[in-house]
Amino acid sequence: MFRKIILMFLLSVSSVHAFNFDAVVPFNGSSVPAGTFYQQLPFVQQDISLLVGFSAIVPGRKTEELDTDLKLGLRTELPLLGMSDIYFIFDNHGGVIREGHKNSDFYTKSLSLAKTWTYPFTDRMELGVQAVLGQALANGEYHIVILPEIYPVLKLKINLF
């Protein structure tokens, strides 16, 4: 009986949190990470979100290699730009087969700054455009590209539970 009282007390005091996040998916078929997910972190300022993106290109023939990309960064409020994304893109070395890279299969491909403008289509879906405003390539080329790409995006608000 005592255990049931403690259990009821814990259930009534604790709150249930839903898993809410935003997802942005581009309409283009580029090799950069296709799906990008934004998650507000607990105990962090309201205008900072964690950004995680990934993609995988599955080959159509046996002779081609599987390609994977990873995007990690932050979405934050920047002066003059508003809410913007700052992220690193990690790429793998020529597919899934190790080719003499002993330390890691992934390398840092670039550091990018992007801005997304969206228009609400419904209460959970927005259509818009994303522009990569600047990109510092770090894959041995070491140069900066201004406005390398602009592409249409679909933004979804996903609520689980």
DSSP the chain: -HHHHHHHHHHHHS----EEEEEEEESS--SS--EEEEEEPTTS-TTEEEEEEEEEE--SSTTSPPEEEEEEEEEEEETTTEEEEEEEEEEESSSSS--S--S-SEEEEEEEEEEEEEEESSSSEEEEEEEEEEEEE-SS---EEEEEEEEEEEEEEEEE-
The pLDDT tens digits of the residues spanning 108-140 come to: 788 899 999 999 988 889 999 999 999 998 877
The pLDDT tens digits of the residues spanning 61-72 come to: 766 666 778 889
The pLDDT tens digits of the residues spanning 34-83 come to: 788 888 877 777 788 888 887 776 666 766 666 778 889 999 999 999 99
Residues 6+ apart with CB under 8 A from 81: 115, 133
> Above 50 in pLDDT, residue 14?
no
User: What are the C-alpha distances in Å from 133 to residues 44, 145, 146?
Assistant: 26, 9, 6
> Above 70 in pLDDT, residue 92?
yes
Q: What's the CATH number for 18-160?
A: 2.40.160
The pLDDT confidence band at residue 86, using thresholds 50, 70 and 90, is very high
Separation between Cα atoms, residue 87 and residue 110, nearest integer Å? 8
Give pLDDT, residue 98: 52
Separation between Cα atoms, residue 114 and residue 53, nearest integer Å? 13
pTM: 0.75
The pLDDT confidence band at residue 4, using thresholds 50, 70 and 90, is low
